[in-house]
Structure 1
Amino acid sequence: MNESALLAILLSLASAVGYALAAVGQSRLAAQGGGGMGQLLTRPLWWWAVGLNAAGALMHVAALHYGPLTLVQPLGALTLVAALPLSAYYARRRVTRREWRGAAWTLAGLTGLIAVTGPASPGDALSLSEALAIAAATALLLAFLVRAGAHSSRGTGLGHATASGIASGVASALTQTVTASLSHALPGGPLPWWGTSLVAVLVATFAVGGLLLSQAAYRGGLAAPLAVVNIANPAAAAVIGVALLGESFHGGPLGWLTAAASAAVAARGVIMLTGATPADLPTPLPTVLPTELPAPEPAVRITA
């Protein structure tokens, strides 16, 4: 193993730990409940989570500079593995066997998806019209997911987690357009300044939106929403690459079959994590004592 690959591995592991710590912090904020965005901005833990997310993203980008995507991306999936023991430590409980099995299934499926997904060729990026169309379609999809998941507490968590992963994946795809335009690497030439600025604003909007959606998702627990975020993010980027950038899965039909099987494996892991979260936690003792006591019965006088 050369020095570049070793540095890429170390940066990827540090990025995964940063993302995991941020997710644990966000889940603790969500568990406290109450308050909206205004109250979040006054809490130091929120800004720690924002900083850790930013640090994780920077280390991930740095890792991609020193190592190939096929090495860095699977290591980024270790965020889920790191978050489970960290979350259990702060909650003063042990990670259950079902949670470990669910994490293993999810990581196996995610690794399979990443293994058959090829990186974009140099210069491949969305045009301005494609970027605007993707942004509009994504906004509608996110609104649908948030609205559809609002019917139940568990659906809310997974719906927001899916929306968060999609928003982050789209932000990554739009970032390619900004960087390609600034480096004059777009096939049709660089965008006008207002076009580059507009796409940059969209990148920031989807990135912040993904962070806020993940914060809402963690109200239903940590493991299952985090697993969904880690799946939806590369899936959204893969859909954009296949549909608009002419990319495909490695191996032809076998690659597509592997991708489908990997998606099924990852889905099984998410289902296991979803079922494990509420059932394996200890039931808390009641914290409110009854305020009304029954009236005493009148004394009975016994006479000889």
Structure 2
Amino acid sequence: MNATLIAVALSLVSAAAYASAAVAQARLAGRTEPDAGFLRLLGCGAWWSAVGLNAGGALLHVAALKYGPLTLVQPLGALTLVAAVPLGARVAGRRVTGIEWRGTILTLLGLAALLMTTGGTAPHETLSLPEALAVGVATMAVVAGLSRPGARPGLRHAAASGITSGVASALTQTLTVAVTDRTGPLLTWRLVIVALLVSAFAMGGLLLSQTAYRGGLGAPLAVVTLANPVAAAVIGVALLGERLQGGTIGLVPALLGTVAAVRGVILLSRAQAETSALTALDTAGPRGGAGSASRVVAGNRGQLDQPMFGPELGRAPVGGP
């Protein structure tokens, strides 16, 4: 089977797994008491199901990075938002809203345009040790700048989360390709350092996303979802030799697809924020009170964030490491 088809298929299943986990976590957050501790979650079958789906989505995303370029696999992480729309509506017993339909259609059309322009070969180039270290240092400098005190901390932390998650995916691809294609010793300084950088950026992306969502879900979620593939694509094009099909002419459908996908993600993120608020109001009845509303909103804030590697080995943002 063509490597591109394998990468797309794995990305689709990964997005479905992440979306299912997000919906399951949202339902669990709505049923969990405010004072319920982590040990209580360990005895909850629904929580373990969500953990399993998240882990499966992350593994599938890593496998997709083996067969497809970053410019293809990372944008498909936005499908997590698309898949979560009908799943969330079905679980909530409601119909998909007009804004959700528009966001879904625009995202799918945009991703389809990008799919036609991305390279179709399995990745073979990997980052050298100096390149990996340079990427790591540059990423830490950007994150430090975005994390400084100032206005709009939610959006800046969201951008930092998406960037670190995208970089984690790029480094994960280097690690995966190097390990599966090599015939020499498995443990080298390059692979050990890349593995450490992957772990650091994956965890950093998760923590930054949680900080970003303190002020609301909609806009930060859109920023995370979009910054992730952009950061990965920059590394793929600048350092890994990835190119668009069709040369300069291929830029036209790629740019149009990007604009459509960006608009679709923004609409879906806005719809997700509105749905979270409505869920909180419905839950905060005579029995729930204001504390219940706060609990549901807080529980939903971290659900549809881009998978760190995928993507991201935890429930981080939508898209992938």
1:164 and 2:165 matched: no
Alpha-carbon contact 2:19-2:81 (below 8 Å) kept: yes
Aligned to 1:17: 16
Equivalent of 1:266, from 261, 266, 282?
A: 261
State the distance in 2 between where 1:199 and 1:136 align.
Answer: 12
Q: Structure 1 residue 10: deviation in Å? A: 6.4
Local SS of the residue matching 2:125: coil
Q: Structure 1 residue 125: deviation in Å? A: 1.1
Q: Any idea what the Cα deviations from partners look like across 1:47-71, whole Å, max 9, x if unmatched?
A: 6544322211223445677x76699
TM-score by length of 2: 0.65
Moved more, 68-77 or 78-87: 68-77
State the distance in 2 between where 1:190 and 1:246 align.
Answer: 26
Q: Structure 1 residue 200: deviation in Å? A: 0.6
Aligned to 2:135: 134
Highest RCO, 1 vs 2 (Cα 8 Å, sep ≥ 6): 2
TM-score by length of 1: 0.68
Q: Which amino acid aligns with 1:174?
A: L
Aligned to 1:302: none
State the distance in 2 between where 1:261 and 1:5 align.
Answer: 21
Aligned to 1:88: 89
1:240 and 2:235 matched: yes
Q: Which amino acid aligns with 1:105?
A: L
Local SS of the residue matching 1:253: coil
Q: Structure 1 residue 124: deviation in Å? A: 0.7
1:111 and 2:133 matched: no
State the distance in 1 between where 2:266 and 2:196 align.
Answer: 35
State the distance in 1 between where 2:60 and 2:96 align.
Answer: 27
Q: Which amino acid aligns with 1:137?
A: A
State the distance in 2 between where 1:141 and 1:46 align.
Answer: 35
Moved more, 114-123 or 77-86: 114-123
Q: Which amino acid aligns with 1:19?
A: Y
Q: Any idea what the Cα deviations from partners look like across 1:234-262, whole Å, max 9, x if unmatched?
A: 32221111112232222111222322222
Aligned to 2:203: 208
Aligned to 2:226: 231
Change (3 A) 1:259 1:171: same
Local SS of the residue matching 2:244: coil
Change (3 A) 1:73 1:233: closer
Local SS of the residue matching 2:249: helix
State the distance in 2 between where 1:9 and 1:242 align.
Answer: 19
Q: Structure 1 residue 25: deviation in Å? A: 4.6
RMSD: 4.3
- What stretches of structure 1 of length at least 5 have no aligned partner? 290-304
Q: Which amino acid aligns with 2:134?
A: A
State the distance in 2 between where 1:147 and 1:96 align.
Answer: 38
Q: Any idea what the Cα deviations from partners look like across 1:46-103, whole Å, max 9, x if unmatched?
A: 66544322211223445677x7669977766432222113333444543311122112
Change (3 A) 1:73 1:24: same
Q: Which amino acid aligns with 2:244?
A: F
Moved more, 11-20 or 226-235: 226-235
Alpha-carbon contact 2:105-2:264 (below 8 Å) kept: yes
- How many aligned residue pairs are there? 277
Q: Which amino acid aligns with 1:111?
A: A
